Amino acid sequence: MNRIFHAALTVPLLCLPGAVYAQYESAYIIFSGGFSEADIDYDAMSATLNQSGAGITAVDADNEDQVLRITGGLSFNPYLALEASYINLGRYDADYTSTNGNFSSEFDLHGLLVGFRLSTSFRAPIAAYLKGGINRWTNDSTIRNAAGETHGTEKDYDPYAGVGLSFVWQPQSRINLGVERYQIDEVDIDVAALELFAYF
């Protein structure tokens, strides 16, 4: 995973001629929000727990939530930029019916992103873009039952990617519409996002 992280930072830079840095350098900030859907397989989780005698007979899960992200970026030419972000990937809940007593689970996901953005042009009236990189994610989990609550935290690195269209709104700002995918261990989270993009 460290090799992926290293490549995400260095490969785009190696492709740039040195003169580009002096000729075109622009910082920007992005505020974005959207709706997410996680492919958490609660049936498989229940089957695994039942092997240990959990006695789960039904699961009522909510795999959808809202996503918020703030991003800072630096573009070195009209087509390539490096970005760093904080993202809240949402909270996903499930209620379990069990012969041993009902209980619930909650997964609260957030992360720090480092990656790149490729665009057909950061300055054109309409442009397409592709982005990707590494997500240093954190999963804060809570299990609730009649005896109380149990809390846990898991952290790891996984990739993310997104594509979309960008439209000029004001001379120094853009509106972006895109779709994104975040991998969290074995779970994929798909996001439909709206970005408000402003240059300094």
CATH number at residue 112: 2.40.160.20
Residue 4 clears pLDDT 60, i.e. is over it? no
User: pLDDT category, 42, cuts 50, 70, 90?
Assistant: confident
Mean pLDDT in residue range 142-161: 94
Residue 74: which domain range? 2-199
Q: How far apart are the first and last CA of the chain?
A: 33
The mean pLDDT of the chain is 87
Reported as a single tens digit per residue, the pLDDT across 87-107 is 999 999 999 999 888 999 999
**Cβ-based burial of 85 (10 A; exposed 0-12, middle 13-18, buried ≥19):** buried
Our count of domains for the chain comes to: 1
pLDDT score of 47: 87
Residue 159 clears pLDDT 60, i.e. is over it? yes
From CA 164, how far away is CA 189, in angstroms rounded?
Answer: 17
Nearest residue to 117 via CA among 160, 68, 168: 160
From CA 160, how far away is CA 51, in angstroms rounded?
Answer: 33
Mean pLDDT in residue range 62-74: 96
Question: What percent of the chain has pLDDT above 90?
Answer: 65
